[in-house]
Amino acid sequence: MEWLQINYNYLLVIVLLMIGLWAMIGKNNLVKKCIGMCIFQNAIIMFFISMGVKAGSTIPILNYTKIDGVKTYLTEASMYANPLTQILMLTAIVVGVATLGMALTLVQKIYSEYGTCEEDEILEKLN
């Protein structure tokens, strides 16, 4: 139980990863595959973000104090969440959007070509 409490964020990510991967490979409907892809990518994003969390920290925008009217920024690293993982995931989100757009484009083309989004029906029509 304690183990679950400590690791629940990772476990959640793992469950999402499994769902996503399973849907990507195993689902018959192409749109569901795309949804699986989305879940998979978002699970990775969550993984990265949760690795950058520091207990009791705030967003990585520096706070300041005014000493004699002069702004002094506080640069104690443990005060702020990890900016690096957030940046990486900003990129990963954009990549995810682009990939999803491309996949949906193809689904649209396939649908107008074969009139269906079910993989087995398409394969039947191909042969």
Partner 1 sequence: MKVLSLIIALVMGALLTVILDDLPAWGDAQSPANAHVSAYYLENAYKQTHVPNVVTAVLADYRGFDTMFETGVVFVAVIGIMAILRREGVPKGAKSRKRPPHQPPDPAITGVATRFIVPFMQIFGLYVIAHGHYSPGGGFQGGVILGASVILMAMTGELKSALNRMSEDWFIIMVGLGFLIFAGVGLACMFYGGNFLDYSALAPLFSGTPQEAAITARYHAMLWVEIGVGFTVMSSMFAIYTYLASDGWMDRGL
Partner 2 sequence: MEQQYPVLIVIIPMFTAMVLTLAGWFKPAVCQPLAVVGLLGSFLSAVATLLQIGAGEVISYRLGGWEPPFGIEYRVDSLNALVLVMVSLVALLVAIFARKPVEKELGNKISNFYTLFVLLVTGLLGMTITGDAFNLYVLLEIAALTSYALLAMGRGRAYMATFNYVILGTIGACFYLLGVGLLLIKTGSLNMADIGTILPKLVGSETVLVAFGFLMVGVWIKMALFPFHGWLPNAYTYAPTATSCLVAPLMTKVSVYIMLRIMFTVYSADWIFNVIQWKPVVMVLAVVAILMGSFFALAQRDIKRMLTYLIVAEIGYMVGGAWTGTAAGLTGTIYHIMADGLMTVCLFMVIGSVVYRKGKAHFESFKDAFQSMPWTMGALIIGGLSMIGVPPTCGFFSKWYLISGAYQSSDYAFIVALLISSLVNAILFIRIVETAFFSATPSEIPDPHAHHEVDYADSPVSMLIPMWVSALALIAMGLYTGEIVTRWILPILPGGLI
Phi and psi torsions of 39, nearest 5°: -60, -45
Residue that has been written with the tokens 């699970």 in this structure: 43
- Verify binding: residue 95, partner 1, rule CB under 8 A: yes
**Could you give the string, one character per residue 13-32, with x where binding to partner 2 holds by CB under 8 A and - elsewhere?**
----x---x--xx----x--
**Contacts with partner 1: how many residues (CB under 8 A)?**
56
In one-letter notation, the amino acid at residue 82 is: N
Q: How far apart are CA 64 and CA 50, in angstroms?
A: 26
In 3-state terms, what secondary structure has residue 72? strand
Interface residues with partner 2 (CB under 8 A) are: 17, 21, 24-25, 30, 33, 37, 40-41, 44, 47-48, 51, 84-85, 88, 91-92, 95, 98-99, 102-103, 105-107, 109-110, 113, 122, 126
